Amino acid sequence: MKKVEHIGIAVKDMTASKLLFEKLLGATSYKTEEVESEKVITAFFKNETSKIELLAASHPDSAIAKFIDKKGEGIHHIAFEVENIENEISRLKDEGFVFVDELPKKGADNKRVVFLHPKNTNGVLIELCQEIK
Ligand code: ZN
């Protein structure tokens, strides 16, 4: 894995949270995007080396809505950038890791993404992402 690509934060109110993070980071969000297949609205912030993804549910049965119901707002996932997502999936499967869904999907911000099941990763939801070129 190359680096932490971004940290995903689950929020209830995207408008309010975008304003909050704009104040916090002193920067405006460079992209807001709905991922219809995941029923989420995302907003991205970045500085020189770090990136934050805010995630809000666009539908009550979104995984983000369920996460917030269970755990409240907060850190939802850590995303690692990978060079070749298929190679990483098979490497990690060989190591015994379990995926939420083994097939990469089109995620936000021009990425193919896949998630490891948090039951095998100390309760942390891990995303692997590969830039679509
Ligand atoms: Zn993410």
> Cα of 83 to ligand 1 centre, how many Å?
16
Residue 47 has a pLDDT of 87
- The pTM (predicted TM-score) of the whole model is 0.93
Here the tokens at position 130 are 């590969």
* Non-local CB neighbours of 109 within 8 Å, separated by 6+ positions: 31, 33, 42, 44, 53
> Cα of 114 to ligand 1 centre, how many Å?
9
User: Which pLDDT tens digit goes with each residue over 104-117?
Assistant: 999 888 999 999 99
pLDDT at 100 over 90: yes
User: Which pLDDT tens digit goes with each residue over 45-91?
Assistant: 998 889 999 999 999 999 999 999 999 999 999 999 999 999 999 99
> Cα of 78 to ligand 1 centre, how many Å?
7
Residue 37 has a pLDDT of 86
